[in-house]
Amino acid sequence: MSRDKVFFQQYATEYDPIKIGSIDGTDTEPHDLAIVRALWSQYEPDKRVTGDPRHTLFVGRLNPRTTQDTITSEFSKFGKIVKCRLVKDIVTGKSKQYAFVEFESSSAADKAHRNMHKEFIDNTEVIVEWEAERRLRGWRPRRLGGGLGGRKESGQLRFGGRDRPFKKPYTA
């Protein structure tokens, strides 16, 4: 491989806000205020989170009425679940519409990752991704301008994840 060729990866392996905001991962300047916010933000992963991040899935866009028992029931089809946590608002106790599911084995987590993405739970299409907080060095959550995915309308379209992988850079 020559020096001027860049090694291309379709999915992010570390979290650089400028790269994540780029369609092909080659941008060098931020193009929106959320990326600037992510660059300036200070974020440390929660040290109280336990378990194996290689066996843990993030489940997002859940129906507000979806319960932890429903998530456990849907995901236990793929293998033994060590822990399932539906994240709730500490003041209201209402679901924040995302959860984390930790499996006993990586093969069970991999099967669930492949099969449950864009499936319906309680009549709502969910997304299933690998946990990012402890897997991607430099991770920033959506509230700090980070995250993967996103919608064009929100102005926070991010790349490098399964829903929006990097596109191969154009070379002349």
Residue 89 pLDDT: 94
**Fold of domain 58-129:** Alpha-Beta Plaits (3.30.70)
Looking at residue 7, what is its pLDDT?
Answer: 67
Q: What is the pLDDT of residues 93-108, one digit of tens each?
A: 999 999 999 999 999 9
Q: Is 87 strand, coil or helix?
A: strand
- Please state the domain extents for the chain: 1-43+131-172, 58-129
Structure tokens, 134? 């402890």
Closest CA to 86 of 110, 111, 69: 69
- pLDDT at position 172: 63
How many other C-beta atoms can be found within 10 angstroms of the C-beta atom of residue 118? 12
Residue with tokens 């660059």: 39
What are the Cα distances from residue 41, in Å, to 19, 93, 120?
16, 27, 34
pTM over 0.85: no
- Residues of the chain falling short of pLDDT 70: 1-7, 155, 172
